[in-house]
């Protein structure tokens, strides 16, 4: 039987072996921790390098609305055939009384249009002179006399001069939207007027239509359809775009957009568009 002294010596040697094993395990943990940390640093550094090298031309969803850096856009297909000219199934009376109701603050000073006895016959030629080229339009009173009357009134007052086309859409709905002096899609003339639509109205390449924020909220914003446009008949068509004007818009569309309005479609045109003057033919 071992003596007390022998038992103490055995216990001491056992404790020493335990301490050695603990120290070895602690050392292995430290080595493993350092190795993992180094690997993480390398991965993070590599990720940052990749993002800077390959993602430098994109904007995050959080800052798309204020970004001026164009995103990469896929090539788009633009129809070349004009849609059939719009025509009402039932002609309007020779004259219409248009109601222009004050609504909100005007993005740019202007006078309310006269709405009494507005002709619903004939056409008006207007050229949007832009930094990218001229876009000739033909406004058709037989389609929407109140919209034509408002557009001509704003044009002759210089409301559209030196304003940007703030939104371009290239997929699904192919159009360029203009008419807001604020340049962000929130501005209007300080008045609104009713829709002038009809059952069975469709949209296609070459159509000029009013933008709106709901039924009977037409103001100053309009859109130019250069391709596909599968829309409900809720947007007042008041004219057409010439083939020469469509070529200008096609060129703008091919440059793509920055995706700033992704929730509703499209974004700011990558190729900036400024209407320097909306010129009404004498």
Average pLDDT for 213-239:
97
Give dist(CA 111, CA 115) in Å, integer: 12
Give dist(CA 273, CA 241) in Å, integer: 16
86 pLDDT higher than 90:
yes
Count of C-beta atoms within a 10 Å radius of residue 105: 9
Predicted TM-score (pTM) of the model is 0.75
Q: Catalogue the long-range contacts made by 10-18 (C-beta closer than 8 Å, 24 or more residues apart).
A: none
**127 backbone φψ class: left, alpha, beta (φ>0; ψ -120 to 50):** beta
Give residue 282's pLDDT: 80
The β-bridge relationship of strands 191-192 and 101-102 is antiparallel
| Chain centroid to CA 41 | 38
Give residue 186's pLDDT: 94
48 pLDDT higher than 60:
no
Give residue 31's pLDDT: 53
Closest CA to 182 of 220, 136, 237, 129: 220
Average pLDDT for 47-55:
32
Average pLDDT for 134-144:
98
- 33 band by pLDDT with thresholds 50, 70 and 90: low
2 pLDDT higher than 60:
no
Give residue 117's pLDDT: 98
Scan for tokens 């004219």, then name that residue.
239
What are the backbone dihedrals phi and psi of residue 147, each rounded to the nearest 5 degrees, phi first?
A: -65, -40
Count of C-beta atoms within a 10 Å radius of residue 139: 23
Contact call for residues 79 and 205 (beta carbons, < 8 A): yes
- 5 band by pLDDT with thresholds 50, 70 and 90: low
**What is the residue extent of each domain of the chain?**
1-56, 71-280
68 pLDDT higher than 80:
no
User: Hey, what CATH topology would domain 71-280 get?
Assistant: Cyclophilin (2.40.100)
| 164-192: pLDDT as tens digits | 999 999 998 999 999 999 999 999 999 99
Check residues 67 and 32 and name the one with the higher pLDDT.
32
Averaged confidence pLDDT in the chain: 83
Give dist(CA 186, CA 249) in Å, integer: 22
Average pLDDT for 141-168:
98
Contact call for residues 222 and 179 (beta carbons, < 8 A): yes
245 pLDDT higher than 70:
yes
Count of C-beta atoms within a 10 Å radius of residue 59: 19
110 pLDDT higher than 70:
yes
For the ranges 51-60, 109-118, 132-141, 271-280, the lowest mean pLDDT is seen at 51-60
Q: Which residues contact 67 (CB under 8 A, 6 or more apart)?
A: 59, 258, 260
Q: Which residues contact 85 (CB under 8 A, 6 or more apart)?
A: 240
Average pLDDT for 97-125:
98
């Amino acid at each position: 039987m071992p003596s007390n002294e022998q038992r103490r010596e055995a216990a001491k040697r056992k404790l020493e072996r335990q301490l050695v094993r603990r120290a070895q395990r602690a050392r292995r943990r430290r080595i493993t921790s350092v190795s993992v940390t180094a690997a993480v640093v390398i991965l993070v550094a590599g990720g940052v390098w990749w993002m800077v090298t390959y993602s430098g031309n994109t904007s995050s969803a959080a800052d798309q609305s204020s970004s001026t850096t164009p995103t990469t856009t896929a090539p788009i297909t633009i129809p070349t055939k004009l849609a059939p000219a719009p025509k009402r199934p039932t002609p309007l009376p020779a004259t219409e009384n248009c109601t222009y109701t004050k609504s909100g603050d005007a993005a740019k000073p202007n006078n309310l249009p006269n709405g009494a006895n507005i002709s619903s016959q004939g056409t008006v030629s207007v050229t949007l002179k832009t930094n990218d080229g001229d876009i000739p339009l033909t406004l058709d009173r037989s389609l929407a006399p109140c919209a034509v009357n408002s557009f001509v009134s704003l044009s002759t007052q210089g409301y559209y001069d030196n304003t940007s086309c703030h939104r371009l859409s290239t997929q699904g709905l192919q159009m360029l939207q203009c008419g807001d002096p604020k340049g962000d899609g929130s501005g209007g003339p300080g008045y609104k007027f009713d829709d002038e639509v009809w059952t069975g109205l469709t949209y296609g390449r070459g159509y000029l239509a009013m933008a709106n924020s709901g039924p009977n909220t037409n103001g100053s914003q309009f859109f130019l359809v250069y391709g596909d446009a599968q829309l409900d008949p809720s947007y007042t068509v008041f004219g057409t775009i010439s083939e020469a004007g469509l070529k200008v818009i096609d060129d703008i569309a091919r440059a793509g957009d920055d995706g700033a309005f992704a929730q509703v479609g499209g974004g700011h045109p990558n190729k900036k568009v400024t209407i320097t003057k909306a010129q009404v033919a004498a």
